Amino acid sequence: MSYVVPVPGLVLLPIIDSDRLFPVRRVYCVGRNYAAHAIEMGHDPDREAPFFFQKNPDNLVLSGLDFPYPPLSGDVHHEVELVVALKQGGSDISPEEALECVYGYAVGIDFTRRDLQAEAKASGKPWAAAKAFEHSAPISPLVATDIAGHPTTGRIWLSVNGERRQDGSLDQMIWKVPEIIAELSKLFTLAPGDVIMTGTPSGVGAVVRGDIVSCGIDGVSALDVKVV
């Protein structure tokens, strides 16, 4: 069989202490899943059910690579997040069964063109250009659950040029990982290879070219990215 264009390559994530790779199918993201971040973005966390948006698999930037500052924006923000990688899926998964779907975890950054997002919000348009642009999701290697377990507490943090910007805890998440998987599976049929970015604590802010962004989650991993 021949193809009219080159076949797109798989996005493959490295795994800590393994020579195997994790193929990515889809990238889901949870919006405003930490109370303090919801408040700093002007929303009431007590009244909001979880909502989701997507990035593209090839938006993922592997550890050790730079983040090129995107065009058509002058206000790009960092958002550090716990990332969940699924080994199995389905529809209408119960919270009690959800963790059986998880292969492992990583640290990720949801870079956001905040100015384009604000324009989209004001006009009722989608966020795709603000969220799903090239290189917008740096991610650490995965750590499997047989090493990391299922982290429910632990510090999640991000610094820019050594200055702490974000400093929270996983137990501050409004919707926990089993609930996120359950709610997402009501909207989409989840499958092996799906990854979920689970939201960010407060303290999001702008980056500029030349910045060194360092972030991590206790018991999971850490990640360093240079903005170029």
Structural domain contains residue 13:
no
The per-residue pLDDT for 1 is 84
Which single residue is written with the structure tokens 């090839």?
58
This prediction's pTM = 0.94
The per-residue pLDDT for 51 is 87
The per-residue pLDDT for 38 is 56
In terms of Cβ atoms closer than 10 Å to its own Cβ (0-12, 13-18, 19+), residue 1 is exposed
Structural domain contains residue 15:
no
Share of the chain above pLDDT 70, in %: 95
What distance in Å separates the CA atoms of residue 61 and residue 76, rounded to the nearest whole number?
A: 16
Structural domain contains residue 9:
no
How many folded domains does the chain comprise?
1
What distance in Å separates the CA atoms of residue 139 and residue 14, rounded to the nearest whole number?
A: 10
Structural domain contains residue 78:
yes
Structural domain contains residue 10:
no
Q: What tens digit of pLDDT does each residue of 183-198 get?
A: 999 999 999 999 999 9
Structural domain contains residue 128:
yes
Q: What tens digit of pLDDT does each residue of 86-133 get?
A: 999 999 999 999 999 999 999 999 999 999 999 999 999 999 999 999
What pLDDT band is residue 50 in, cutting at 50, 70 and 90?
A: confident
Burial letters 63-98, b for 16+ CB under 10 A, else e: beeebebbeebeebbbbbbbbbbbbebeeebeeeeb
The per-residue pLDDT for 35 is 73
The per-residue pLDDT for 43 is 60
Structural domain contains residue 187:
yes
The per-residue pLDDT for 137 is 98
- Which pairing describes strands 51-55 and 112-113: parallel, antiparallel, or unpaired? unpaired
Tokens read off for 172: 């501050």
In terms of Cβ atoms closer than 10 Å to its own Cβ (0-12, 13-18, 19+), residue 18 is middle
Q: In this structure, what CATH number is given to the domain that contains residue 204?
A: 3.90.850.10
pLDDT at 4 over 90: yes
Structural domain contains residue 122:
yes
The per-residue pLDDT for 32 is 85
- Domain range for residue 126? 23-226
